[in-house]
A and B are shown apart, each in its own frame.
Chain A
């Protein structure tokens, strides 16, 4: 198991090498000129060239990449001229908000979807199952920004329960979390339902019942633990996607997450900031997915056995 984790970490480093190379390459091709950004439109061509020389922008691609990654490993991701700050602290500041939002929306999605999915699976084909499935489809189909706007109209404009935007107190995360969480919840409900339906047909539940295990425990202990694998897969993907920020939701609530940071940087062609943010986000996504893989092993001993080989 430990060997497996070490192997996965080694692979993660390789993946990060490839990803960073790709990101750096794409950003190199993308329009945007650091020198122009720093000096502004009024600068002359000589001044620009002098600055480009100073920044090393005329160096070959791999030299620039190597220099960047060397700095990256030491925590120096360059300076964002759009936000007038070093990229790393900028990113970390926004990351807090993004993680809070991701956790809150995951909490919202799981608390609702798992019981709903189990309930629907247990009442398969009945009216209640159809209602849950219909709700899930509506949740999946409803666009984020629209859900967000509706929530703002109801809870902040009409009822005045929450602020309509920003992130000052923890309660400000409630509406954005519901907004992002709705689609996640809908997908998770469907995953839980279908996972449970598969498991509910299995022979080992019959044996559990034949042993005298109560129906409640048959579902909660014997069935759920088996149905967890697809649930973890989906929630892992959802959570890692959240690490890149929720662009539309953040825009609706003017929520200071990674999404808005990145969009702002892209709009103003701040290549340094964009490169840094993208590489850090890929790193976070990879780490999250690795954590999910390790989590599998703790849920399903068969997977753990495979890992040990």
Chain B
């Protein structure tokens, strides 16, 4: 761990990460020049619509992007000061599950159908804590109880659990080795609404108990507001707005973020029409030259189609990538709710 990182307590530092999926037919530019960092105990919400590159970002942190077709074109990912892409296989295994754990989107498919849930939790303990099988098993039972599953179900197989229960098991696997950082990739998307609330509540509780830092990947701004300290909004593989919850929610700067808020249903006026952002995200295998949002942006000017905006600081914590802010007095209008 470098001295700098101890000083500022940074667990994860991503710099200029660019990930492409290269096939014979096309190159999908999934993540482009992405930089972000997460500090100990903090939680960051990574928000964006489907295809914005959120999951690719998450996978690249643990060097899990399938290759082929995925390729890390440039950039570095450092976890506790160690570069993940320079790490040996043994170091990587140590990072995975122990320093950084991951919760995947679909609990239906991420548990191995031929091993009991107890075995799958205990395996993680055995790998990282070098303890006896019996100790690992006992720890697995504890973890099951902690996520609200009776320990006597440890010998059951994944198909014997409901979706919400499976996600609890996945959470148990993720938290069993007390990771410094937990990456939750849309942990509630595949669950129905009532179960979503339970699972989120559980994650919040456990996060407070264990003090782990978290990256919450979601397209749901409500979840972000509830669970995160910081927000990064992704669009077409880039972070276009990044700040504290307050910065992004109260002082929204980027037209895309504004669009996201405007497209939320209004609970006070149920008859009000949703205002979706018009158009679609550009094809990531054929990104435009200028700002990738320009096509859909009601504030776009000629320059936006020509030049790619770079992230600009608006305050100590708030960064926005939008060219219009270079003009004096530019302001977006947030429709009132």
Q: Do A and B belong to a common assembly?
A: yes
A203-228 vs B, Cβ < 8 Å mask (1 yes, 0 no):
11011111111110000001001100
Contact indicator A203/B106 (Cβ below 8 Å): yes
Q: In the complex, what residues of A have CB within 8 A of residue B148's CB? A: none
Q: In the complex, what residues of B have CB within 8 A of residue A203's CB? A: 104, 106, 109-110
A76 to chain B, nearest CB (A): 46
Residue A301 at the B interface, CB < 8 A?
Answer: yes
B217 to chain A, nearest CB (A): 14
Contact indicator B112/A208 (Cβ below 8 Å): yes
Contact indicator B127/A213 (Cβ below 8 Å): yes
B215 to chain A, nearest CB (A): 13
List 15 A–B pairs whose Cβ atoms lie within 8 Å, in order of A's numbering: A203-B106, A206-B64, A206-B104, A207-B111, A207-B170, A211-B97, A211-B101, A211-B123, A212-B93, A212-B97, A214-B93, A300-B113, A301-B113, A301-B114, A301-B159
Contact indicator B111/A212 (Cβ below 8 Å): no
Contact indicator B89/A207 (Cβ below 8 Å): no
Contact of A299 among B114, B116, B159 (CB under 8 A): B114
Contact indicator B96/A210 (Cβ below 8 Å): yes
Q: What's the Cα separation between A202 and B113 when bound, in Å?
A: 11
Q: In the complex, what residues of B have CB within 8 A of residue A212's CB? A: 93-98, 124, 127-128
Q: In the complex, what residues of A have CB within 8 A of residue B95's CB? A: 212
Residue B102 at the A interface, CB < 8 A?
Answer: yes
Known: A212-B98, A305-B159. A226 touches B124 (CB 8 A): no
- Contact count band on B: 20 to 34
A219 to chain B, nearest CB (A): 13
B99-141 vs A, Cβ < 8 Å mask (1 yes, 0 no):
0011010100111111110000001100110000000000000
Contact indicator B112/A204 (Cβ below 8 Å): yes
Residue A67 at the B interface, CB < 8 A?
Answer: no
Contact of A222 among B89, B112, B157 (CB under 8 A): B112
Q: What's the Cα separation between A303 and B213 when bound, in Å?
A: 40
Residue B173 at the A interface, CB < 8 A?
Answer: yes
Q: In the complex, what residues of A have CB within 8 A of residue B115's CB? A: 222, 225
Q: In the complex, what residues of B have CB within 8 A of residue A226's CB? A: 112-114
Contact indicator B64/A210 (Cβ below 8 Å): yes
Q: What's the Cα separation between A218 and B318 when bound, in Å?
A: 42
Q: What's the Cα separation between A210 and B176 when bound, in Å?
A: 13
Contact indicator A206/B110 (Cβ below 8 Å): yes
Q: What's the Cα separation between A229 and B69 when bound, in Å?
A: 28
Q: In the complex, what residues of B have CB within 8 A of residue A204's CB? A: 109-113
B316 to chain A, nearest CB (A): 34
Q: In the complex, what residues of B have CB within 8 A of residue A225's CB? A: 114-115
Q: What's the Cα separation between A52 and B98 when bound, in Å?
A: 83
Residue B17 at the A interface, CB < 8 A?
Answer: no
